[in-house]
Structures are given as structure tokens and as C-alpha cells.
Structure 1
Amino acid sequence: MAVNGQEIIRLFETWSPKKLACMENDPIGLAIGTLNKPVSNVLVTLDVNDAVVNEAIDKGCELIIAHHPPIFRKLANIRTDNPAGALYEKLIKNDIAVYAAHTNLDVAAGGVNDLLADALQLQNCTILEQTYSEKLTKLVVFEQQDNAEALRIALMNAGAGTIGNYKGCSFTSYGEGRFQAEDGANPTKGQVGTLHVEQEARIEVVFPQSMKNRVLKAMLNAHSYEEPAYDVYTMDIDVNEMGLGRVGRLAQPMTLRQFAEHVKTQLDVPFVRIVGDGESIVSKVAVVGGDGNKYIYAAKRAGADVFVTGDMYFHTAQDAEAIGLNIVDPGHHVEKVMIPGVANKMRSLCDKLDVQFIESNVHTEPFTCV
């Protein structure tokens, strides 16, 4: 039985949520059609053009997940007598929805930039430029001692208490809690109208701010009291730091010319453009998928010997040369690594659902080397 498209995208966004998008007004999300329908086949593609839509029709796909949004700028009209309007008409007439994940997929762990770094066999990778983080949040909750362990377990199961590579972290102290139930209350301990003293546990856990609602819901469901006493603090500590680009090292240094050949082979492109001395030695590599012109200085600050990115402008190339940063430009289309990457990730996330993820075979690179 086909699954609802909303469930597929809900699972996708647990991996690549919209909040990671780092371009102003990035047109991500549902671009065309509806997700509220049965979906049995999903086509994963870099671009959405006429050939890709024909492929989706031929393969019985009800949904397309693309990296490049099919509607990038606001539309003044939709005319079906021009190529863009005809494309949207074909999608709508064939009831094919299009969902775009653009810069959020660039930033996501395991997304475009990680896939490129993996393809280039970079080691010990870090983020080139941070674009996202969350504040750490602390929950302090008071509970009768008899139920303290059950409450701690519920909080851990909700995802609280993870610090770095450690899970199940919490702190507990003990003391006396006092309260008096009034008319209409149904106290777990004590009597209505009488001040009650209870031996209680003070439990403290931390979690990223985005998990607040889930953690509080788990706490309220597991707490034994009718009216739990708790505090929530936002801490001045950043966690879940993520961003654009990756910086890593080659297993062995090589010349810029050798590295350029490595890029051609690993990213499956017919040619690259380089800036710099072909015999200079490179070891530390920065990479940004797509157009990374504005990150040349970030790459230099990161200590990269060479920066791999597409769409390098003439004057930006001159600036890179001036600051001593080698460039290898394999073009924008190397982001095609997201096709098998996203398809495999979604197969894992949807392993219990009756849905197939199909990798597009359409070659959408507009340039040919002559």
C-alpha cells in the first residue's frame, strides 16, 4: 500500500530540516502539487527539466525530490506557451509533486557537501563556515523519589541528556518538597487542605533548544504529580553547529595537477579549471558544492591549500590567485552526488514503508567540452 507523501517528507526533514537553509528566501519545500496523496515511487534528481519530468512519468513517480528548486524566483504569471510554464503544466496534469531541498541539503550532515568530501576521499573533515547552531537548554524538574528513575528514563528516551559523545547524562540531588492541595485537586501524595512534606529528587538534564517540546511532553507524561514543578533555562552554550562546505585532508599530499586529475576521476567530470601552480603541493582541501565564489577567504582562513568549487568567476579567480589559494573548478553539476546519496538515505529512513526511491538517469549538465 502506498504511503502518504507527507510522511515521506516528514522523514526527509528529520535529516534535512528547512531550518538549515542558509540562503535568504531560499525557495525550498513543496514547489508544485500536493504531498497529501498516496506515493509509491519517488524520483530523486539534481534538476527538474522536461526530460526529468518525462522520466518521472515513465517510471510512475508521484513525487520528485530535487536539489535545485524548479521555481527559483517569484512568478509574475504561468504561461503554458513558454518552456517553464509548459513544464509546470505537465507536472500538474500528471499529478507529480515536486519538493526541493536546496541549501538545507548542502548544510545537512551527510548532505551535498559531505557527499562531495567523501567522494574526494577527504579525512578528518570539519565545517568550512558555520551557518547554524542551537542554544543548549536545561530542564530542572522535581519529582517524588519513588518515581525519579522512571522519569529520568523517560527524559533520556525523549533525547535529553546527550553531551558530546555521552548519552544518559543527568544530575540528581535530594531534598524536601512542600505543597498543599486545594479543593478540586487530586494529589498523588498528601491530602487536600493539608500542607504535605515529600522527599523529592531534583533532576537536571540538558538538550538542544529544538527538542524542548518533545522533552517537556515526555516529562509531563511520565511525571507522577498532577501539577509538576519544573524550570526551563536557555543556556549561553551553542550546540549542533552546522554549516556550508567542508575542510579535510588528503591521505597523501599530491601536486595540484595530480589533485585536479583526482577531482576529475572522483567527481566524474570531463574537465576542470585550475588556478595556481600545477606543481605546488596540496594536502588540505576545502570544498563547497555549487557556486562557492564568496567562500574563497573562508577557505584561506581554514588553511586550505586548494579550494574545490564550481562557477568560479574571473575576478574571484584573480583574487584567489592573489591570496595564494589554489582553485579546482569542476563545475556546478558535481552536485549530482546527491542523487544516490539522497536515494540511499531515504531508503534507510523509509525502510518500513512501501515506497521506492528511483535515481534519475537524466544527464542535466548543460555544458559540453569541445
Structure 2
Amino acid sequence: MIIQDVISHLENLAPLSYAEDFDNVGLLVGDKNTKLTGVLVTLDTLEPVVDEAIEKNCNLIVSFHPIIFKGLKKLTGSTYVERVVMKALKHDIAIFAIHTALDNALYGVNDMICNQLKLNNKQILIPQSGTIKKLTTYVPVDEAESLRNALFEAGAGNIGNYSNCSFNIDGTGTYKANSNANPTKGEIEKTHFEKETILTVIYPKHQEKQILDTLFNTHSYEEVAYEITTIENKNQHIGIGMIGELTNEMTEEAFLTYLKEKMNTKCVRHSTLLGKPIKKVAVLGGSGSFAIPAAKDTDADVFITADLKYHDFFSAENKLLLTDIGHYESEQYTKNGLVAYLKKKITNFAIILSTINTNPVKYF
């Protein structure tokens, strides 16, 4: 195997095209064509993590957070970021970061939190917009069914809980081939009239290449007419945060105790207790204050996130319980989930969970 093989599995889980614009995901250090010796999975790539990779003969570090977030202008070892990159380069260790691509994945960070809390009926909290594309093309009527089915097979035609979705209108297309053309239907220098179907299908944007490859490889025309637009529908399977339900409702006090235990945190900062039972739970790993309005809109009883500021707690407005369990604590099980996923996909190489606790926040 080469490093790219691992990357391909990771991108199937969390396509990088769904990462937030501000983020820096993907292969940050190294050559994707390098032969793989082993994979070390971590939440953060720090110097001790690189040392661990060296010790365990892993030449690929899969990191949740990107070590390079802002542009590097020099490599002198004056910062921890520069030292990590320099050491990785010196020892031919590649670093891949997945961050907000995994935040926005259906089976990503927030699904892992929901599983840790044993929540049911899970849904995306903030579905991502602008991620569904629409392909319209024109195909001879007698070829429409085969092309439609090929596009479905390639991943087109799925929206929400529905599959094999398309729209079809029959009409007549015209064209005249010049002397340099090689038409499959019609004759050179004669206007041809062809019964055609206008075929429209939707697809997730990360599958665009395979959808277009299928179109060109299946369509019989030498020149395929097509157009691509973005539709406004929210993608119910891509987005940040998640909502779920406890099997049995709890009191606020019992839930806070349960939360500390399940998320292995020493401290839960929270807004004023409301004396209401907890049943519906909204979660967002990492810094999630921006999602407080969305959690309210879902009528969640509690919102679990991290990095809430003083004034954020006022925005609970007696409508739900806000809880801050800590940034590291909210994402700590992410590396376990990645290891479990990669072990299912790759059975002949070592997939190792880093033993380094990279939490920069200490409690006294």
C-alpha cells in the first residue's frame, strides 16, 4: 500500500470538499505515493506524537487537527509548529489532517459523541447548503434508460431518504456535423433531427468527477451537451452538529453526572438549571457557540459543546441547558473512531492509536 490508499479511505468517510473554507485539511506534509509502513492516529500532531510515530515505524500520522493552520513563512524551529514539520520531514513521516471534513461527515465527530452518550434518532443539526449539484444532459430516447441507470450506479439521484431520482422530458434535438466530426447518428454536413430525452439528476458535489466520467463514458455522442448547477436543498447527510434522544429522560442533575462520566471530563460548565427533564440532546464537538440558535430551533433540552464564553451562557435565555465540556474532551474519542474505521478497511498494516494526551488545558 501507499499513503494515498489510506487517504482514499479517509476521504470516503469524510470528503475533504465538505471541510469549512477556513480550514486546512488533507495531506499537509509528505508524498502521497510513498510506500506505507504504518499509521498513527492522533487528535493533534505534536513533537511527542512524531517521536511516537518514529518509535512505532509509522510513516503516516492521521491527525484530527491540522498542525499547519496558517501559512508557514519559514522553518527555523522557533515554534512548535515549525519543529513538528521539520521533524516529520527529517524522518519521512507524512501528516494528514481531516478536521472539519470529519466535523461535517454523517459518521464523523458528532456521531461519535452521540454514540458515546448512547443517543437515538440521530440527525444533522445544521445541514450544509450548496453541496448538492444538478446535472442536465440531452440523450437519444433509446439510450436514456441505460444512461440514467449508469448515473444512478455512479451515485447520482439520491436526496434525503429517496434514491433513483431524476426528471425526464422528451423532445427533438438538432445538430449538423462538419467534416471534422465523427457523429454516431446523422450524416456529415446534414442537419440531423434526433428524438432526445432531457435527463436531469442530482448528486453530491464530492462525486462530480465520477458522475461526469460516467456521463462521457456512457453517452454515445461525440460531443455531449450538459450543464451543472447548484441547488438550494440542504444536504441532510452532510453538516455540522447532531441531534439525538436519550432512551429515557433524565433530570438535569442526573444528566450532568452522566455527561461527565461518558465524556470523561473533570468539569462541566453550564448555564442556569431550568428544572426541566432532559430528553432531546444537541451536540457539536469543538467550538460551537455559533450553533446555539440552531440548537434552540430544534427544541433541544440541552446543547453540548466547548469553548463557550461568558456572554454565550446568557444566550440560553431559559430555553435550554448549555454545557461546555472542554474542547479536547468533546473531540477525544475522534481518534478512536478513526482507528476503528481504518482497521475495518485496512487489515494488513498497523493502525495504531496514539497514546499521547495532547490536551493543552490542565485542571487543578
Smaller-chain TM-score bracket: 0.7 to 0.9
1:19 aligns with 2:48: no
Give the equivalent residue in structure 2 for 1:161.
157
Q: Which amino acid aligns with 1:359?
A: L
In the TM superposition, residue 137 of structure 1 has moved relative to its aligned partner by: 0.8
Q: CA offset at residue 223 of structure 1?
A: 2.4
Q: Does 1:141 align with 2:156?
A: no
Point out the more displaced range, 40-49 or 320-329. 320-329
User: What is the aligned partner in structure 2 of residue 234 from structure 1?
Assistant: 229
The alignment yields a C-alpha RMSD, in angstroms, of 2.9
Provide, for residues 44-71 of structure 1, a one-character-per-residue CA deviation record: whole Å limited to 9, x for no partner: 1111223222221111110111112223
Once the two structures are superposed, residues 330-367 of structure 1 have per-residue CA deviations (whole angstroms, 9 ceiling, x without a partner) of 2112201111211222334x44x854321112222344
Mapping of residues 72-111 of structure 1, within 5 Å? 72-75=69-72, 77-80=74-77, 83-111=80-108
The alpha-carbon distance between structure 1 residues 32 and 174, as it changes in their structure 2 partners (threshold 3 A), is closer
Preserved CA contact (<8 Å) 2:141 2:170:
no
5 Å-filtered alignment, 1:312-323, equals 312-317=308-313, 319-320=314-315, 322-323=317-318
Asked if the contact 2:106/2:124 (under 8 Å) is kept, the reply is no
Q: How far apart, CA to CA, are the structure 1 residues paired with 2:165 and 2:214?
A: 16
Aligned position for 1:290? 286
Q: 1:255–1:278: 8 Å Cα contact kept in structure 2?
A: no
Compared CA separation, residues 325 and 185, structure 1 to 2 (3 A): closer
* Structure 1 residue 328: Cα displacement: 2.5
Distance 1:175 1:303, change over 3 A: closer
Provide TM-score, normalisation by structure 2.
0.86
Identity of aligned residues (%): 35
The answer for unaligned runs of 5 or more in structure 1 is none
Query: As a proportion of its length, which structure holds more strand?
Result: 1
The partner residue of 2:261 within 253, 260, 265 is 265
Question: Any conservation in 2 of the 1:138–1:235 contact (CA below 8 Å)?
Answer: no
Judging changes above 3 Å, is the alpha-carbon distance between structure 1 residues 189 and 316 closer, same or farther for their aligned structure 2 residues?
Answer: closer
2:360 equivalent to 1:360: no
Residue identity matched to 1:238: N
Name the structure 1 match of 2:44. 47
**Equivalent residue in structure 1 for 2:325, among 326, 330, 340:** 330
In the TM superposition, what is the alpha-carbon distance from 1:93 to its structure 2 partner? 1.7
Q: Secondary structure at the match of 1:38?
A: coil
How do 1:171-210 and structure 2 match up within 5 A? Answer: 180-192=176-188, 200-202=195-197, 204-208=199-203, 210=205
The one-letter code of the counterpart of 1:206 is V
Asked whether the 8 Å contact 1:320–1:326 carries over to 2, the reply is no
Which AA in structure 2 matches 1:13?
A: E
Structure 1 residues 194 and 115, CA, compared in 2 at 3 Å: closer, same or farther? same
Equivalent in the alignment of 2:220: 224
Displacement of 1:324 after TM fit?
4.1
Structure with greater Cα Rg: 1
Q: Distance in 2 between matches of 1:113 and 1:51?
A: 27
Residues 239 and 205 (structure 1), Cα distance of their counterparts in 2 relative to 1, 3 Å cut: farther
Shift of 1:115: 0.9
Deviations 1:167-202 (A, max 9, x none): 33445565666555543444434444555555x451
* Residues in 2 aligned to 1:95 and 1:324: alpha-carbon distance in whole angstroms: 52
Quick one: distance in 1 between partners of 2:18 and 2:271?
Answer: 31
Q: Deviations over 1:232-277 (max 9, x none)?
A: 3536442525322112221111111111121122222334233322
Shift of 1:213: 4.0
* Structure 2 runs not aligned, ≥5 long: none
Q: Is the 8 A contact 2:250 2:277 kept in 1?
A: yes
Corresponding residue number in structure 1 for 2:4: 6
> Is the CA contact 1:20–1:132 (under 8 Å) kept in the aligned structure 2?
no
Q: Normalising by the residue count of structure 1, what TM-score does the alignment of the two structures yield? A: 0.85
Relative to structure 1, the CA distance from residue 299 to residue 149 in structure 2 (aligned partners, 3 Å threshold; closer, same or farther) is closer
CA distance in 1, matches of 2:221, 2:84: 58
Evaluate the alpha carbon distance shift between residue 212 and residue 51 of structure 1 in structure 2; reply closer, same or farther with a 3 A threshold: closer
- Distance, in Å, in 1 between the alignment partners of 2:167 and 2:81 is 58
Alpha-carbon contact 2:129-2:232 (below 8 Å) kept? no
With over 3 angstroms needed to count, the CA separation of the structure-2 counterparts of 1:60 and 1:142, relative to structure 1, is same
Give 1:148 shift: 4.1
Between the aligned partners of 1:220 and 1:324, the Cα distance in structure 2 is: 53
Decide whether aligned partners of structure 1 residues 10 and 67 sit closer, same or farther in structure 2, where only a CA change above 3 A counts. Answer: same
Per the alignment, in what secondary structure is the counterpart of residue 201 of structure 2? strand
C-alpha distance in 2 between matches for 1:243 and 1:339: 20
Q: Number of matched residues?
A: 361
Q: Work out the CA distance in 1 between the residues paired with 2:179 and 2:353.
A: 64
The aligned residue for residue 340 of structure 1 is 336
SS for the counterpart of 1:238 is coil
